Structure 1
Amino acid sequence: MEKLPKIGLPIIVAVVIIFVVLAKSAVTIDAGHAGVLYETLGNGVDSDKEPLGPGFHIIAPWNRVIDYETRQQEVPEAMSVLSSNGLDIKLDASVLYEPDVKNLGKLHNEKGENYLSRVLQPAVRSAARSVVGRYTPEQLYSSKRDAIQEEIFMETKKIVSSQYIQLNSILIRDVTLPPTIKEAIERKLKQEQESLEYEFRLVTAQKEAEKQRIEAQGKADANKILSASLTDKILQDKGIEATTKLAESSNSKVIVIGSGDSGLPVILGNQ
């Protein structure tokens, strides 16, 4: 009985050592993440190796894994840039990005874990300054906003695509101009809108007047043609025809007293 503890102690120590080794060797990577293996006794991160995907992994206890999120991420960017005429413009944007998973080892070796602040954010700011500097405050505030957003995205993408970063989108949420410039632009836009409304009303009135003129001309032409075609003979024939129909009506009483100027009878009375 006294020998059991002496026999069991090495076993317990061995179990503890194995447990510690396994604990340091076991790595679990969450969904939406990938791991870069750093070999302490080797050359660090091997850029050509595939990153460790989500799940359970066993590694040598002296190595370690650097975890990277591989899902699309968003970083807000508040930038102060100059317009084409030198006015200070503030842009509030959202940058949507993710690391290039296939080249995660290269990203780690060349840019490091802080690639966002080292590469992406400076690239966005540089592109924004370059693009906004080509436009006036009025274009930034109204008509060219979507085009400017697209240009900033394309210029930033050119910079970061070769640096193992996948840029998905840049969204301009807000453009803040100096108050006096903003008020001046709003007044101008309001005046332009009023001018467009006035021109619309003027064109509508002109079209209506032209329509009435054409209708009046048409009626005048019709009356002229009708007057030219109504001779005395035609009027007499029409009168006879109307008199005959009236005389044949069962609800009419015909009384002839002399004749009219055209030689037609004068008909009086009806029921």
Structure 2
Amino acid sequence: MKKYIILILLIQFIITSGCTVVRQGEVGVKRKLGKLNDKTIQPGVVAYNPFLTKVIKLPVRTVNLEITSNLPSKEGLNVGAIISILYRIKQEKAPSIIENIGPAYEEVVITSVFRSASADVCSRFFAKDMHTAQRSTIETEITSQMSHLLNDRGFEIEAVLLKTIQLPQGLSRAVEEKLEAEQDAQRMEFLLQRERLEAQRKLVEAKGTRDAQKIISEGLNKEILQWQTIEAFKKLSESPNSKVIITNGNTPLLMNEIEGN
């Protein structure tokens, strides 16, 4: 009886140890008697002979590799930085990566290529450029160089991001002062532009007033003045209040006003 129990347990052990699960975002590669299979295993349950075969899994989703490094600048300074490298493994290249590079591919290939590419790119820029709008240019050029070197080896470099930049203390203050000076200059330019626009507005307004007065003065002749005088007398005559008016017959002059009963 004990022999049957031991045999059943042994069979169960063999069955369970000969199964594995390839999860989403991974691919598997079988290695049988030391020889790799060229075909990749897609996510799911995989059965294999544990005595002869091993299933090696590699992630094919996007991986964020974070590196702390000192980046050289054009003026010879070392700029401390924390960098994120976003990359993924091409599924069809998984067997080649295992065979030619091994499981430590991040340290052997990706990190090494990054250090070389970043040194080459950053040495063409000043340290302050890594702290300004030039940062995106530096990131793009490093990404381009890494992609050129790693694409054929099965790695797709999606982005290189300079997350944290630590400039030398003296340089950091100089950059801040320069940015403050640029902001002050932009603010002053805005104020000057606003004053110029206000001056233009006042000039246009003055010209408009001058032109209006000119038109009015040119339009006033003897007949129009006489007509306006008649209109003024007419309006005074229609008023219900008593008034004393002194006139030479041409222009009315109102002296005082007496309230009527």
Whether the TM-score (by the shorter chain) exceeds 0.5 is: yes
Matched, 1:126 2:113: no
2:21 & 2:202 partners in 1: Cα distance? 83
Q: Aligned letter for 1:28? A: V
Q: Aligned letter for 2:19? A: A
**Residue in structure 2 matching 1:180, options 170, 183, 186:** 170
1:265 & 1:203 partners in 2: Cα distance? 51
SS at match of 1:193: helix
Structure-to-structure mapping, 1:230-269, within 5 angstroms: 230-249=220-239, 251-253=240-242, 259-260=247-248, 263-264=250-251, 266=253, 269=257
Give, in angstroms, the shift of residue 264 of structure 1.
4.1
Give, in angstroms, the shift of residue 24 of structure 1.
4.1
| Compared CA separation, residues 32 and 225, structure 1 to 2 (3 A) | closer
- The count of residues paired between Structure 1 and Structure 2 equals 258
**RMSD across aligned positions (CA):** 2.5
Q: Which moved more, 1:171-180 or 1:130-139?
A: 130-139
| Compared CA separation, residues 223 and 27, structure 1 to 2 (3 A) | closer
Structure-to-structure mapping, 1:9-28, within 5 angstroms: 9=3, 11=4, 14-15=7-8, 17-28=10-21
SS at match of 1:166: strand
Matched, 1:100 2:90: yes
Q: Structure 1 regions of 5+ residues with no counterpart? A: none
Matched, 1:111 2:96: no
1:135 & 1:62 partners in 2: Cα distance? 54
Matched, 1:50 2:43: no
Give, in angstroms, the shift of residue 269 of structure 1.
3.5
Structure-to-structure mapping, 1:21-36, within 5 angstroms: 21-36=14-29
Q: Aligned letter for 1:269? A: E
In structure 2, the residue matched to 1:83 is 73
Could you tell me the TM-score, scaled by structure 1's length? 0.84
Contact 1:82-1:89 within 8 A present in 2 as well: yes
Matched, 1:142 2:118: no
| Compared CA separation, residues 161 and 265, structure 1 to 2 (3 A) | closer
Give, in angstroms, the shift of residue 89 of structure 1.
1.6
Give, in angstroms, the shift of residue 246 of structure 1.
2.4
Q: Aligned letter for 1:137? A: A
In structure 1, the residue matched to 2:179 is 189
2:146 & 2:55 partners in 1: Cα distance? 30
2:233 & 2:216 partners in 1: Cα distance? 22
Could you tell me the TM-score, scaled by structure 2's length? 0.86
Q: Which moved more, 1:92-101 or 1:175-184?
A: 92-101
Q: Aligned letter for 1:184? A: A
